[in-house]
């Protein structure tokens, strides 16, 4: 449905698509850089410990700092300012990273890029949530996620191509990412000018965003956060999946990025499918996520290549739901005045649960794969119980 185009200055679907284009270009930039971060640091003399600490610290910053940036965005109401500042930090850090001549300089830039994601994400998701009130939450977030994944596919391929042409020179390989970075900022400024207050998509009589009502987060959101924590803690990482494929001799190292690209394509398709379903049947569609998460280790940690590859593709489908439909549900559970705060907590919960799950999966993999499969299944049953309780509470 197309609502209130005159009040907003742009039709809701056009806003979603243009905002998706921003994310496509931004993913082009930072996923291109992340695909070679470890190799670049190694070329500057970094040890495996340094690479692990820096990349881990970057991910912790990207998720944990949203617990701060979310409430600050809500308090100020300046969602566009936070969004533009975060994207600017990312798109400036990446091309400069290619010029780094010392390990410490590269480490600072790697973490700065991740901090940029933390700065913008709660505000960005809040802006998107306003427009998806008119397009349908599930479909709007799904289209945004699908476009996001296109950039995630293109960026690493472009970087790999430039590295091949230049004999492994990181400066031009990351330097080419300045062009989509400039386009990101130009599009954001244009969108900000056309739609200064996207809140009118959801509330026609909305005042400036800073005037949005405050208050406690609803109890349903905290129950939802418990469901997210449970299903994420029982979700294997692609790092462990690829480790299994290599250690068991099922797949050559060169084919791992190809498999990852395939998983990202499934990610986009799953986001679109569950997004459309969400708008028809609501959060009941989220029951698919624990089922997929339980299937991943049962398929991926086998000794058969076809089955293991299928497990990796199922992992991609689960990621698509995590990145789109889970975010759409937050917008439906939380009023606009506290939504950026909720998105910050949402990211913090996923970050903490991912860390706990990664430790658990790694330990169980070394102990017994059948035990790992059984434990994951039990965790996901618990997640389904929490989801059922949430659905009953909402009825």
Q: Report in angstroms the alpha-carbon separations of 291 from 36, 298, 326.
A: 33, 11, 15
CB 120 within 8 A of CB 86: yes
Could you tell me what percent of the chain has a pLDDT over 70? 93
Instruction: Name the band, by pLDDT with cuts 50, 70 and 90, for residue 157.
Output: confident
Mean pLDDT across the stretch 371-377? 94
**pLDDT, position 394:** 65
pLDDT digits (tens, 9 = 90+) for 289-341: 999 999 999 999 899 999 999 998 999 899 889 888 898 899 889 887 889 89
pLDDT of residue 253: 61
Least confident among 49-53, 62-66, 275-279, 327-331: 49-53
Tell me the C-alpha distance between 312 and 256, whole Å.
10
CB 285 within 8 A of CB 384: no
Evaluate if residue 52 carries a pLDDT over 80.
no
- Specify the higher pLDDT residue, 37 or 134: 134
Name all contacts of 387-392 with Cβ < 8 Å and 24+ positions apart.
387/227, 387/283, 387/286, 387/287, 387/290, 389/223, 390/220, 390/223, 390/224, 390/227, 390/283, 391/283, 391/284
CA distances from 80 to 77, 119, 204, 298, 334 (A): 9, 11, 19, 43, 20
- Kindly report, residue by residue over 186-224, the tens digit of the pLDDT: 999 999 999 988 888 886 654 444 444 456 788 899 999
Which of 96, 93, 70, 67 is closest to 83 using CA atoms?
A: 70
Query: What is the reported pLDDT for 3?
Result: 46
Task: Decide: residue 318, CB within 10 A, 0-12 exposed, 13-18 middle, 19+ buried.
Answer: buried
Chain-wide mean pLDDT for the chain?
A: 86
pLDDT at position 313 is 93
pLDDT of residue 204: 60
Cα–Cα distance, 234 to 228 (Å, whole number):
10
Residue 125 near residue 97 (C-beta atoms within 8 A): no
pLDDT surpasses 80 at 366: yes
Q: What mean pLDDT is predicted for residues 168-174?
A: 88
Average pLDDT score over residue span 18-41: 86
Q: Is 158 exposed, middle or buried (0-12, 13-18, 19+ CB in 10 A)?
A: middle
- pLDDT at residue 245, rounded to an integer: 84
The span from the CA of 159 to the CA of 83, in Å, is 25
- Where residue 215 falls (left for φ over 0; alpha for ψ -120 to 50; beta otherwise) is left
Cα 263 from Cα 154, distance rounded (Å): 14
Distance CA 384, CA 280 (A): 20
Q: How confident is the model at residue 91 (pLDDT cuts 50, 70, 90)?
A: very high
CB atoms within 10 A of CB 296: 29
Query: Percentage of the chain with pLDDT > 90?
Result: 40
Give the pLDDT score at 212.
Answer: 47
- What does the pLDDT read at residue 6? 46
Whether the pLDDT of residue 2 is over 50: the answer is no
């Amino acid at each position: 449905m197309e609502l209130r185009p005159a009040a907003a200055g742009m039709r809701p679907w056009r806003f979603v698509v243009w905002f998706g284009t921003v994310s496509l270009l931004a993913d082009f930039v930072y996923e291109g850089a992340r695909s070679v971060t470890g190799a670049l640091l190694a070329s500057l003399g970094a040890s495996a410990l340094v690479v692990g600490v820096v990349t881990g610290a970057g991910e912790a910053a990207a998720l944990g700092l949203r617990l701060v940036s979310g409430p600050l965005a809500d308090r100020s109401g300046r969602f566009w300012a936070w969004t533009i500042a975060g994207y600017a930090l990312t798109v400036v850090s990446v091309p400069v990273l290619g010029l780094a001549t010392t390990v410490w300089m590269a480490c600072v830039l790697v973490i700065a890029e991740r901090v940029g994601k933390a700065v913008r994400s709660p505000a960005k998701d809040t802006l998107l949530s306003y427009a998806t009130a008119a397009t349908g939450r599930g479909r709007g977030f799904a289209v945004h996620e699908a476009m996001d994944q296109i950039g995630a596919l293109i960026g690493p391929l472009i970087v790999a191509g430039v590295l091949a042409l230049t004999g492994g020179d990181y400066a031009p390989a990351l330097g080419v990412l300045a062009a989509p970075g400039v386009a990101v900022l130009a599009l954001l400024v244009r969108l900000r000018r056309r739609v200064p207050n996207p809140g009118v998509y959801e509330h026609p009589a909305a005042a400036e965003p800073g005037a949005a009502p405050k208050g406690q987060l609803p109890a349903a959101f905290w129950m939802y956060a418990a469901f997210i924590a449970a299903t994420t803690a029982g979700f294997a990482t692609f790092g462990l999946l690829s480790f299994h494929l290599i250690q068991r001799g099922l797949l050559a190292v060169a084919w791992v990025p190809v498999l990852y690209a395939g998983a990202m394509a499934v990610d986009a398709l799953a986001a679109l499918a569950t997004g459309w379903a969400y708008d028809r049947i609501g959060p009941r569609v989220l029951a698919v996520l624990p089922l997929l998460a339980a299937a991943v280790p049962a398929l991926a940690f086998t000794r058969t290549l076809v089955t293991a590859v299928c497990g990796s593709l199922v992992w991609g489908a689960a990621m698509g739901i995590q990145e789109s439909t889970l975010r759409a549900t937050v917008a439906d559970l939380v009023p606009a005045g506290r939504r950026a705060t909720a998105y910050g907590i949402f990211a913090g919960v996923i970050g903490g649960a991912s860390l706990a799950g990664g430790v658990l999966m790694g330990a169980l993999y070394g102990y017994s794969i059948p035990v790992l499969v059984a434990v994951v299944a039990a965790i996901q049953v618990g997640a389904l119980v929490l989801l059922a309780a949430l659905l009953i509470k909402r009825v």
